[in-house]
A and B are shown apart, each in its own frame.
Chain A
Amino acid sequence: MAEVKKLSDGIFEVIKGKKQLATKNLDPGKTVYGEKLIQVEGIEYRTWDPRRSKLGAMILKKFNIPLKEDSKVLYLGGASGTTISHVSDIVSEGAVYAVEFSPRSMRDLIGLASRRKNVYPILADAGKPDSYSHLVEPVDLIFQDVAQPNQAEIAARNAIRFLKKDRYLLLSIKARSIDTVANPKEVFKEEVRKLEKAFEPGFEILNAKDLMPYHEDHLGVVAKLK
């Protein structure tokens, strides 16, 4: 028989043979990327593969994920919606503004958003928040996974514009997208420095850890505007 343990609001561990990260399925009966559906006491859970999701890995690496049922989230770099689907499960009464600039990925995101009323797809460049400032309200959390060389700048621009006071930015930094040959440790140090100093008012870094063994050469960061 399966057992469920709550890790934090909306985030669970389903134990059925082995322990698996999971969220309550907001779209019952449907899977998004081939994950498993597990019924426990009449509730359907979707397993969450940390190897396919930086946010999933961050949870297992014990990052504190400050999300509630009614949180508003700005998600930058949505791709085809693997992680967004879980965020949408977690903030079942909230909103996920999903920014993605590849039309091909957006096609998949549109499919996801048409089944989930709390996902708002936005085809735009996350480096130009002005281009969606007429759509996005102040949010409780920004999650960013764009794998771009200018990711610190992208984070700063969006946080200044959309992040509510004293709320958090969660960021996944991919070493190889910044510099393909440099030592990842050096790249991470430099990126963290940029987040702290390169922009006014700068971020305060609350936590930074690598995402091994789920993602190689990735750093997870939690930060807050100073």
Chain B
Amino acid sequence: MKINTWFGVLETDRAGKILESRLLSKDVRELALHSLSLRDNRSDLSPEGFDLKAAALECGFVESSAEYYSLLHKITLEAAKLQVSGALTPDQRIIQAVEALDDVNETTNSLSERLSEWYGGYFPESGLAGEDLSLFIAKYGSRENLDPQDPLYSKARSSMGAKLEPADEVLLKGFAESVCSLYERRRQIETYIENSMELVAPNLKLVAGPMLGARLISLAGSLEKLAEFPSSTIQVIGASKALFKHLRARAPSPKHGIIYSQPLINTAPWWVRGKIARAVASKLSLAARIDFYSGKKDPSLTEKLETKVLLIRTLNPRPPQKKQESGAKPRKKRRK
């Protein structure tokens, strides 16, 4: 019988004696690639209990046990490295970026609040917040340094804030610069995600927008998994808390997870949101599949979705009549 091994192909007789062998050269990379090519191989597998090392010695591939193990060690390491580097696919990079963005946002918000709290003691009337405030502080430091053209000049002159001592000013300016660069970093990551989404999942980007699309990939774990999800799952991705509550305690099933941020859903009147969420989820699912399997951009996806949503809204112009609350005494139905 024929047997595939990491070091070559063997031909054995019924008793397991090697009759013939085609051995590979002892090149680590070549052997590693060969080993990887055998992963999905279904034919000529070694029989149960086949002693690879004894065979490698018998056919003369290696001279000693020690040589066998040392070579096998090198090739398993090399093959695993090749596989791991191949695992960082473009969609995985997007996921890393999404996670980094979440971290940056969290840090930015808390540092930005700290800055506002801190500087508030020196210029409470500024009315600035977030990036504007950090840019202002990084530029001027003390409100006394404001130039007369600045719209805040008169407020600064009459401020009830304390005087900013030089040592505190140095500290605050440095802190503000860090916050500014975090805002900068945020934009940089967002741009990266937008550009990558256009390459990796153009249809998903089209239907969901770049950020929502990237978040869906991130929550699913990969574009492949997202493409495999039924649209009912996509509809509630990110609503896991509500979903578990629904499963455990028979709370109402969630109508939407993070896809709620899709404008078609969140601008619709409440009574059609569930229906629209379903329509959007089904287009998202289609988009993810096209992206994963073909990658061609299909601009008609959004048009079709918009038509569908318009139809839903036209067919349901008014909120439905309030249904009887369960638990309340059922009143007799009155007929006209």
Q: Could you list which residues of chain A lie within 8 angstroms of chain B, going by C-beta atoms?
A: 95, 103, 106-107, 109-110, 113-114, 117-124, 130-138, 160-162, 164
- Report the 6 A-B pairs with minimum CB-CB distance, sorted nearest first: A103-B87, A120-B76, A121-B80, A123-B83, A131-B39, A134-B38
28 contacts between A and B (CB under 8 A): A95-B69, A103-B83, A103-B84, A106-B84, A110-B80, A113-B76, A113-B77, A117-B70, A118-B69, A120-B76, A121-B77, A121-B80, A123-B83, A130-B42, A134-B4, A134-B5, A134-B6, A134-B45, A134-B46, A134-B52, A135-B35, A135-B52, A135-B76, A137-B51, A137-B53, A138-B51, A161-B48, A161-B49
Q: Main SS of chain A's interface residues?
A: mixed
Answer whether residue B81 sits at the interface, using C-beta atoms and an 8 A cutoff: yes
Also in contact, A135 and B69, with CB within 8 A (given A103-B87, A106-B80, A160-B48): no
Identify the closest chain B residue to A124 (Cβ).
B39
Q: How far is the CA of A161 from the CA of B4 in the complex (A)?
A: 15
Q: Could you list which residues of chain B lie within 8 angstroms of chain A, going by C-beta atoms?
A: 4-6, 35, 38-42, 45-46, 48-53, 69-70, 72-73, 76-77, 79-81, 83-84, 87-88
Contact residue among A95, A110, A132, A162 (Cβ-Cβ distance under 8 Å from B77): A110
- Shortest C-beta distance, B26 to chain A (Å), equals 16
Query: Do residues A133 and B49 form an inter-chain contact, with CB atoms below 8 A?
Result: no
Identify the closest chain B residue to A114 (Cβ).
B77
Also in contact, A106 and B69, with CB within 8 A (given A134-B4, A164-B49): no
Query: Do residues A131 and B77 form an inter-chain contact, with CB atoms below 8 A?
Result: no
- Shortest C-beta distance, A59 to chain B (Å), equals 26
- Shortest C-beta distance, B29 to chain A (Å), equals 16
Contact residue among B40, B41, B49, B83 (Cβ-Cβ distance under 8 Å from A106): B83
Q: How far is the CA of A2 from the CA of B300 in the complex (A)?
A: 75
Also in contact, A133 and B53, with CB within 8 A (given A109-B80, A120-B72, A121-B80): no
